[in-house]
């Protein structure tokens, strides 16, 4: 299939064409709320009550959304989830980690830990993309994996590793799961994420639920080794307790994230989020399963409710299909670049209307009918 410019009939198109996996769709209602508040919000001090109140709303709203166990704290700082990987190597992993690798993001975390000079070589358990693997039991003080591998669209169980030393920390990259996929936080010590995916906001911030054991580890480890201030989790904890960040945050990001948390809470919390993403993803996978030219990439039971990866028959050029969709206002359904498959990847975070996922598959069907053969 060559790149052909076809115009998808307007009545088939989704109302909102944003299907990215991060940055992902920001709800228009949240953007309007930001626009309404813009001149008294943007360009005001993050050390004053209006911004501190919103940071407080984010922290208490997240604790409510997740029914956070006693003693768990919501901590935040600048730099996104990638920066938190470095926070982990400076302030959470004491000597050695055990890591489950099942895609690009888990692989990047493993690489960052492996290259940290003061840590021992981590134990790395790896599988090919399309399924998941938990870290193996090892002589380790931290176990790390992702709740949802955004590069492949696979969701892993989140539970303490059987046989791990009782003081080992469970570090979960929840960047694309948080705000959409329910979890029992008691099974984790650091459940960290960034707001540009299911929290329907912009990037640049990291947020983490920390267990009392993780807080204790961070305090001890950062007292023992040299840590730059920007990676010093103890400083982030201290600032977060005062509803602040160490240095200046992006105010629009905070505002939009708070709006999304309020929206989720008002609609029924994580159960609502799971139901909405579940409606989108069950439609997408059923469509692909039934389609002669498409099939879900990830094996059951690991298919993600929020990141759908659909393989296409070799007679369909998925890159050209994505380009055609893009020309029609349906954007960011290209596959994760390094996966290198003939695939589309579709973000189905709670902000995405399941009706728009139905319109997306109808649009794809239309394009295939009008360009194939
Ligand atoms: C998007 C993503 C990241 C990177 O997040 P940044 O905020 O861009 O650093 C890390 N891990 C997972 C699982 C992701 O989906």
Block means of pLDDT (10 residues each) for the chain, length 373 residues? 78 98 98 97 96 98 98 98 98 98 98 98 97 98 98 98 98 98 98 98 98 98 97 98 98 98 98 98 98 97 98 97 98 92 98 98 97 77
User: Can you give the pLDDT at residue 157?
Assistant: 98
Nearest CA to ligand 1 atom 12: 175
pLDDT of residue 127: 98
Give the per-residue pLDDT at 337.
86
Residue 22 near ligand 1, beta carbon < 6 Å: yes
Separation between Cα atoms, residue 369 and residue 48, nearest integer Å:
57
Check whether the bond before 199 is cis (ω within 30° of 0). Answer: no
Reference 334, options 9, 21, 17; nearest CA is: 21
pLDDT on residue 373: 61
Two structure tokens written together for 324: 């055609």
The runs of H, that is alpha helices, within the chain are 28-41, 49-65, 80-91, 104-114, 212-224, 233-241, 251-267, 269-290, 318-327, 354-371
pLDDT for 307 equals 98
Give ∠ CA 180-183-184 in degrees, rounded to 5: 155
Atom of ligand 1 nearest to the CA of 148: 13
Indicate if ligand 1 lies below 6 Å from the C-beta of 173. Answer: yes
Residue 81 alpha carbon, nearest atom of ligand 1:
9
The residue nearest atom 2 of ligand 1, judged by CA position, is 175
CA distances from 181 to 52, 98, 158, 263 (A): 27, 24, 11, 16
Q: From CA 12, how far away is CA 356, in angstroms rounded?
A: 10
């Amino acid at each position: 299939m060559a790149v052909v410019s076809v115009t998808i009939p307007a009545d088939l198109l989704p109302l909102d064409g944003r299907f990215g996996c991060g940055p992902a769709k920001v709800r228009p209602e949240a953007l309007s709320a930001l626009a309404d508040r813009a001149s008294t919000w943007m360009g005001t001090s993050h050390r004053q009550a209006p911004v501190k109140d919103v940071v407080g709303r984010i922290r208490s709203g997240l604790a409510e959304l997740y029914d956070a166990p006693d003693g768990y704290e919501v901590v935040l700082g600048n730099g996104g989830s990638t920066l938190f990987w470095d926070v982990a190597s400076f302030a959470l992993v004491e000597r050695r980690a055990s890591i489950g690798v099942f895609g690009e993001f888990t692989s990047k975390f493993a690489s960052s830990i492996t290259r940290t000079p003061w840590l021992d070589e981590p134990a790395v358990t790896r599988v090919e993309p399309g399924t998941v693997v938990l870290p193996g039991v090892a002589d380790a003080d931290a176990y790390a994996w992702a709740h949802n591998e955004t590069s492949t669209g696979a969701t892993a169980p989140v539970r303490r590793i059987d046989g791990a030393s009782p003081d080992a920390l469970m570090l979960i990259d929840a960047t694309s799961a948080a705000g959409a996929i329910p979890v029992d936080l008691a099974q984790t010590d650091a459940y960290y994420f960034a707001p540009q995916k299911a929290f329907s906001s912009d990037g640049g911030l990291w947020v983490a639920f920390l267990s009392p054991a993780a807080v204790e580890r961070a305090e001890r480890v950062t007292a023992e080794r040299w840590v730059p201030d920007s990676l010093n989790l103890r400083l982030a904890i201290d600032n977060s307790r005062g509803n602040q960040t160490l240095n200046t945050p992006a105010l629009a990001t905070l505002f939009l994230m708070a709006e999304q948390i309020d929206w989720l809470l008002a609609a029924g919390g994580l159960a609502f989020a799971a139901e909405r993403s579940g409606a989108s993803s069950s439609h997408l996978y059923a469509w692909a399963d039934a389609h002669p030219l498409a099939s879900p990439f990830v094996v059951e039971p690991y298919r993600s409710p929020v990141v759908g990866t659909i393989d296409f028959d070799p007679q369909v050029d998925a890159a050209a299909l994505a380009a055609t969709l893009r020309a029609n206002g349906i954007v960011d359904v290209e596959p994760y670049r390094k996966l290198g498959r003939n695939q589309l990847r579709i973000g189905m975070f709670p902000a995405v209307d399941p009706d728009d996922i139905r319109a997306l598959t109808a649009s794809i069907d239309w394009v295939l009918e009008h360009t194939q053969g």
